Structure 1
Amino acid sequence: MPLSPTPSCPSCNHSGQSTNLLRCQSCNVVYYCGREHQVADWQAHKGACVAIKKATKTLAREEQRLRSLPADMFMPQPIFEEHAGHFWGIHETRPYMRARYALVEAILKIKTYAAVKAAHEHLMEMLRLCRGDNMGVRDLVPALFLRLGNDQGCYDFCVWYATTGQEGDYAWGDMDLGFLDVKDANVFESVPENLTGSYFDLSHGVAITLLKIKLFMDVRTLRDSSMVGEKVPQEIIDGIRTQLVTGTVIARHVKVTDIDSQNTTIEMLEGQLKDMYTAVDARNTFFWPSLLRPGGNLTARPQAFSHGSRSEMQLVLQYNYDAWSETPGAIDMIGDLKQGSE
């Protein structure tokens, strides 16, 4: 099921505002209804919590080390203000960037909205500090947008990298140039060519496929609710539509009461889904079969990978699997597409 922004106690599933729940003071991403349930959950929570606490201390130590470095003509202080955008290119910043990524990995072991939000914020800050993204953290970001329910943010992010980010003359070191500045791109449009070609970013392509599936399922549900409207009380229909449209991108592009418009959109999305399925399959033939039956691929630790390899599939699967598993019906739809293509 999708993650809920409303925190809940893992021991009893009691939910409420974060101000009314007890937050774990070590990891800061798990909430409890009280001390008793926090103690009861400790054995299950301990491993991930201790790892986050340790990674947080390491990051704080590396940040302090950077801030304490003496200024010189090549590295004026304050480094976080004077060199934002150029981290990693400065050798002294690399331990800090590695430590921050290690914290992200630790946080993502916990499957809560708060954990995903914290990891997403760290990664976006890492991209701000190092626009060139030598560590490749941009591959994790789209799936986190989707897990947070920010479909528009996911699409804007991927479109920027598929357009401006592919320009050969884009000066990554020029802080005056726009960066990740695509806003409100049309999620229903045909996918940019750079997201379906021979060398597109596999992780971004997988995330866009999931986004298109989410749109397809929502518009189909919206259409079906319109078709049964005469047989179901209006307040129930309104509730279904509100749940689908409020806070999503659908309201801006699909007429809520126009069945013909909905049918046209569904047909268009079906075509886009088939195109994305084919593009991802051509890009890495291991991916879709492994999404359907992940097995040990979710725990593999490949150290390096080549284009189209099994190792590449394992990394991308690990970056994206939670987003797929938290979207009911999405993996089944890939199974249907795979069966239809055989």
Structure 2
Amino acid sequence: MSREETKLRNAPEDFGFAGNPFDPQNDSIGHFWGIHETRDYMRARYGVVEALMKIRTREAVQATLDHLQRLCRGDNMGVRSLVPALYIRLCRDQDAYDFVRWYKKVDEDGNYDWGDMDVPFLDTHDADVFEPVQECLSTYNLNHTVALTLIKIRVLLTLKTINDSTAVGSLVPPEILDGIREQLASPAIAGNEQIMHEVKTGKSMAPHISKLKDQVDELYDAVHKQNKYF
């Protein structure tokens, strides 16, 4: 990858494009795949990503994310399929959910200009992980459907843990129990004000657990329909 990058950085201005594509003044960032001369570099960079994904450390996962972002907004190499799983491995479920929801919503009318670097990009934040999934299941690719499933399962298990914490209620003061329940809430749960109010006030999570179970069942069915061998 370093060799290909050096070749591009030292390219003359008449080398098929306006000189060094890494220079922000050349307006190449975000359009790399559209510049034919950068494709060997992009393939080499993807090779680094594949190698990093085999390393089971947090640093390697973060480095993989860093490699995947920014250079080609149109995502001709399909890296969008990898990103949610990487966020999940970093326990950044809310970021994973926001990423998937942005790609679901951004081009529903087919008018999003992937080549315009001035339009909003990946600007979905704090999307509701408890929202229904049925109306949009058919439009997700398999990787994103699996990511949604894993996120919902993790939130479901966390809510069960919060609910189970009430078993120690008679052993500790109420304010300590409320603090324990609040600390158990993941960022994906903490972003929902209604549920966090219920967590802090000791209410049962049973209704939310029931809804999430139904959603997980829907997602399992969706994954099976998209790939029965998964």
Deviation, structure 1 residue 206: 0.1
Shift in alpha-carbon separation, 1:191–1:146, aligned structure 2, 3 A: same
Q: Which residue of 1 aligns with 2:145?
A: 205
Conservation of the 8 A alpha-carbon contact between 1:84 and 1:129 = yes
Q: Which of the numbers 157, 162, 166 marks the counterpart of 1:217?
A: 157
Conservation of the 8 A alpha-carbon contact between 2:178 and 2:201 = no
Q: Could you tell me how far apart the structure 2 residues matched to 1:200 and 1:117 are?
A: 24
Conservation of the 8 A alpha-carbon contact between 2:16 and 2:37 = no
SS at 2:32's partner residue? coil
What do residues 121-153 of structure 1 show as CA deviations (whole Å, max 9, x unaligned)? 1112xxx21111111111111010011111110
Moved more, 278-287 or 229-238: 229-238
Deviation, structure 1 residue 88: 0.9
Conservation of the 8 A alpha-carbon contact between 1:226 and 1:257 = no
Q: Could you tell me how far apart the structure 1 residues matched to 2:66 and 2:171 are?
A: 45
| Uncovered stretches (5+) of structure 1, i.e. residues with no partner | 1-58, 288-342
Q: Could you tell me how far apart the structure 2 residues matched to 1:151 and 1:219 are?
A: 14
Q: Which residue of 1 aligns with 2:66?
A: 121
| Uncovered stretches (5+) of structure 2, i.e. residues with no partner | none
Deviation, structure 1 residue 77: 3.1
Conservation of the 8 A alpha-carbon contact between 1:116 and 1:148 = yes
Shift in alpha-carbon separation, 1:277–1:188, aligned structure 2, 3 A: same
Deviation, structure 1 residue 72: 3.6
Deviation, structure 1 residue 200: 2.3
Q: Could you tell me how far apart the structure 2 residues matched to 1:152 and 1:224 are?
A: 23
Deviation, structure 1 residue 249: 2.1
Conservation of the 8 A alpha-carbon contact between 2:126 and 2:191 = no
Conservation of the 8 A alpha-carbon contact between 1:162 and 1:192 = no
State whether structure 2 residue 102 is matched by structure 1 residue 160.
yes
Aligned residues: 223
Shift in alpha-carbon separation, 1:278–1:240, aligned structure 2, 3 A: same
Q: Which residue of 1 aligns with 2:188?
A: 249
Q: Which residue of 1 aligns with 2:227?
A: 284
Shift in alpha-carbon separation, 1:214–1:272, aligned structure 2, 3 A: same
Q: Could you tell me how far apart the structure 2 residues matched to 1:139 and 1:239 are?
A: 37
Once superposed, what is the RMSD of the aligned Cα atoms?
2.2
Q: Could you tell me how far apart the structure 2 residues matched to 1:157 and 1:99 are?
A: 25
Shift in alpha-carbon separation, 1:65–1:193, aligned structure 2, 3 A: farther
State whether structure 2 residue 87 is matched by structure 1 residue 142.
no
Correspondences of 1:66-77 after superposition (within 5 Å) = 66-72=8-14, 75-77=17-19
Conservation of the 8 A alpha-carbon contact between 2:84 and 2:96 = yes
Q: Which residue of 1 aligns with 2:57?
A: 112
Q: Which residue of 1 aligns with 2:3?
A: 61
- Equivalent position amino acid for 1:187 in 2: V
- Equivalent position amino acid for 1:249 in 2: A
Shift in alpha-carbon separation, 1:70–1:159, aligned structure 2, 3 A: same
Q: Could you tell me how far apart the structure 1 residues matched to 2:201 and 2:208 are?
A: 11
Deviation, structure 1 residue 165: 3.8
What do residues 6-64 of structure 1 show as CA deviations (whole Å, max 9, x unaligned)? xxxxxxxxxxxxxxxxxxxxxxxxxxxxxxxxxxxxxxxxxxxxxxxxxxxxx111111
Deviation, structure 1 residue 227: 4.0
- Equivalent position amino acid for 1:136 in 2: G
